[in-house]
Chain A
Amino acid sequence: METSGTGEQRVIGPGGLDRLIGLLQEAGYQTFGPTVRDEVIRLAPITGVSDLPRGIGDDTAPGRYRLTSRSDGAYFGFAAPADSWKPHLFPPRQVLFSAIRTADGIRFRPVSPPPQRQAFIGVRGCDLAGIAILDEVLLHGDHPDPHYAARRDGLFLVGADCAHPAATCFCASMGTGPAVGPGADLVLTELDPGTPRHRFLVTAPSQRGAEVLADVPHSPAGPPDLRAAAALRESAEAALVRQIPAGEWIPDPEDPRWSDVAQRCLACANCTMACPTCFCVDINDTNDPVTGATQRSRAWGSCFEQRHSSLHGGPVRSSRASRYRQWLTHKLLTWPEQFGTAGCVGCGRCIAWCPADIDITEEAGALRRSS
């Protein structure tokens, strides 16, 4: 991703944002953004601003997610979509290759990459950081994953600063928000929704972003725009109620808290599915009984499943306590050793979507105190 953007800041109106989405489509990008669907905000193909969740907010708590109605008609008046961008880069099911036996051996047919480049509209800081973390795991090791690379290649990222964090958010703790960090092509800050001056401050951190922005009707940003954006960043940060304290700590593997949370945890794997960075997969071979062809695929797995750690016919992590311990320890503590980045971005989805109301920040806090 190029980072040689103009650094200059512009102001565009909602019409300008609509034009921006249209320009990206004309340039051959498949454009995705937040929409209201099935009583949640979730990511889907969009063609313009009318697809965005205008005037919709979200209200979350442990084990709770509700949409709310906003009076200001803000396009981005929510925290983060219920789902992360992960499925668009790393699908829940992915065929790795197919093969068929021939007279003189085996013929392999690799999977062809998707035909179109993607553009993500309205990426929150937490989710942008999530994409960078998946880049590290799947692209920057010794064995880059070509399927992720194909979807990641040429990805156009339009970030959106978060003005209304939810109660389950803790992005500031993880250094990922509420404002969007580095890595986007364009960054939007929505200003003064519900007024005639409803507009977006836009920055173009990348050359590519600057080029697209040049064709969108805009005016230069002035000090009031910058002040308003800064004030929003401050109020957003102040609105965060959850945190994970900084600094290293080593949990006691025999801490009774693990058993305590295990009694509540259902090992349902909602958290790992909702998480923007969880990448564990199960590999499977399936066969066509008619042609004799075989196919190797991967599908999202979860460390909460007993089969995840199966060895010599039995799981290493049999108890739920050991599996919850694996998930939390990996997400917060051992991931940085493995990949050089944090594992968690503080999006809080695991908290909202846990049917047992388990809160990673609360569990981490309790474990840290007794460590």
Chain B
Amino acid sequence: MTTIDDSLSAHPFFTDLDPDLRRRLAACTQPVSFPAEAAILREGGAADRMFALTSGRVAVGVQTPGRGLQVIETLQRGDILGWSWLFAPYRWTFDAVAVKPVTALEVRIACIRAVLDADPVAAASLYRNVGGVMAERLHSARLRLLDIFGEGH
């Protein structure tokens, strides 16, 4: 039987973390699933969880009057959903909806905050990995700002 710890270590975000830290994170983690079209996060909601996607497809977007959900990012297995828990005001900035049925590992932030507050070294390694995710998303967003497939190119 696969333990939560095994599942976490198989996910690219957690693979290189200290095994001890990962075990303590596993204690704050549970497997979850969402059917197609289920809302996973809502803009403005309390940012109290982080999801490590293990299957399916998630659309991250903004509800716009007259245009429905404008999808700005699509996440799949191996991606991380949600990092607004790191910074005040600790609220989601986007909606996230399951496009296809989703399974994920849901990390409860209240539970791990105690772990991280007690261990700054562990905290630093986790925050570095979150930073990596944010850097990749920012790079992608900047490339898309260039509109390289647009009319001038």
Contacts and interface: CB of A to CB of B under 8 A. Distances in A.
> Does a CB–CB distance below 8 Å link A and B in the complex?
yes
Contacts of A312: 152-153
Interface string A301-322: 0000000000011000000000
A312 B147 CA distance: 14
Nearest to A314: B152
A166 B44 CA distance: 80
Contacts of B152: 312-313
A99 B152 CA distance: 33
Interface string A39-67: 00000000000000000000000000000
* Chief secondary structure at chain A's binding surface: loop
A312 B153 CA distance: 6
- Size category of the binding interface on chain A: under 10
B149 to A, nearest CB: 12
Interface residues of B, number: 2
A313 B153 CA distance: 8
Contacts of B153: 312
Contacts of A313: 152
Nearest to A312: B153
Nearest to B153: A312
Nearest to A313: B152
A312 B152 CA distance: 6
A78 B35 CA distance: 90
Interface in B109-153: 152-153
B36 to A, nearest CB: 41
A151 B152 CA distance: 42
A314 to B, nearest CB: 8
B60 to A, nearest CB: 32
A313 B152 CA distance: 7
A318 to B, nearest CB: 15
Interface string B68-94: 000000000000000000000000000
B119 to A, nearest CB: 46
A50 to B, nearest CB: 62
B48 to A, nearest CB: 47
A212 B77 CA distance: 84
A311 to B, nearest CB: 10
A315 to B, nearest CB: 14
Interface string A274-316: 0000000000000000000000000000000000000011000
A199 to B, nearest CB: 67
A312 B150 CA distance: 11
A183 B153 CA distance: 48
A313 B151 CA distance: 10
B15 to A, nearest CB: 39
B79 to A, nearest CB: 33
A356 to B, nearest CB: 34
B55 to A, nearest CB: 41
B26 to A, nearest CB: 51
B148 to A, nearest CB: 11
A313 B150 CA distance: 13
A242 to B, nearest CB: 45
B51 to A, nearest CB: 41
Nearest to A311: B153
A234 to B, nearest CB: 60
A59 B150 CA distance: 56
A5 B52 CA distance: 84
B152 to A, nearest CB: 6
B109 to A, nearest CB: 47
A43 B137 CA distance: 65
A247 B128 CA distance: 50
B98 to A, nearest CB: 39
A309 to B, nearest CB: 16
Interface string A140-168: 00000000000000000000000000000
Interface in B2-25: none
A312 B146 CA distance: 15
B146 to A, nearest CB: 13
Interface string B47-63: 00000000000000000
B150 to A, nearest CB: 10
A20 B42 CA distance: 96
A312 B151 CA distance: 9
B132 to A, nearest CB: 30
3 contacts: A312-B152, A312-B153, A313-B152
Top 3 nearest A-B pairs (CB, nearest first) are A312-B153, A312-B152, A313-B152
